[in-house]
Amino acid sequence: MKVEKPELVTIVSILSRRLREGKTYDDFRRAWFHTTGFGVKGKEVKGSSNRMFTAINVFDPREIIVMGFGTVTLEQLEDALNIDVQYRDENPLDEIVEPDIGRTFCALVSEDDFSAVGDIPFTQPSISGKETDMVEFGRNLLAIRKLYEVASQKRDALTEARKK
C-alpha cells in the first residue's frame, strides 16, 4: 500500500519594519535572529523548508524588509506560527523597531522564469513544474488565512499583556 505524502504549500511572508532613530541593522539582526527553528521533531516532511531573506530599502535604509518562504504542510504552518508567536513574545523588537509593522502573508500560486531571451509562450500557473489546481489552491488559501488569523490574535494578546 502506497503511503501518500502530505501536501506541501509555499507560504510567503513579507514583514516591513522601520528601525528606531539611532538603531542599526546589526541591532535589528541580533534581536530578530531566531535561535530556535520552526520545525517540530517528529513532524518533518521531505521537501519542507523555511528560509528568510532580509533586505534594506535603498531609499530608506531604516526600513528592513524580511521575506520568509516556507514550504510546509498546513500542520507544519500551524506549528511554525505558534513557535514564532512564542519566540517573538520572549524576544520582542520593541526597543529596536518602530511600532508600526507591515505584514503581508501570501500563498504561492505560481513561479515563472522570465530570464530567457525572446518570446516566452504562455503557461498555466505552476510550481516546480506541477500545474496549480486552482480549486485546491482556493481551499488551502482559506485554511492558511484562518491559521494566520489565529496566530495574529495570539500575538496581539501577548503584546498587549507585555505592555501592561
Residue type, 115: S
Q: What is the DSSP string of 25-52?
A: HHHHHHHH--SS-S--TT---TT-EEEE
Domain boundaries, the chain: 9-108+127-163
Looking at residue 105, what DSSP letter applies?
E
**Residues paired with residue 46 on neighbouring β-strands, in sequence order:** none
φ/ψ of 104, rounded to 5, equals -130, 125
Stated pTM of the model: 0.87
Its CATH class, for the domain covering 9-108+127-163, is alpha beta
Give the contacts of 157 (CB within 8 A, at least 6 positions apart): none
pLDDT in tens, 94-116: 999 999 999 999 999 999 999 99
Confidence of residue 71 (pLDDT cuts 50, 70, 90): very high
Predicted confidence (pLDDT) at residue 67 exceeds the cutoff of 60: yes
Query: Which segment of 39-43, 75-79, 86-90, 115-119 scores lowest on mean pLDDT?
Result: 39-43
Query: Which segment of 38-42, 90-94, 120-124 scores lowest on mean pLDDT?
Result: 38-42
C-alpha distances in angstroms, 146 versus 44, 78, 113, 128?
A: 22, 10, 31, 26
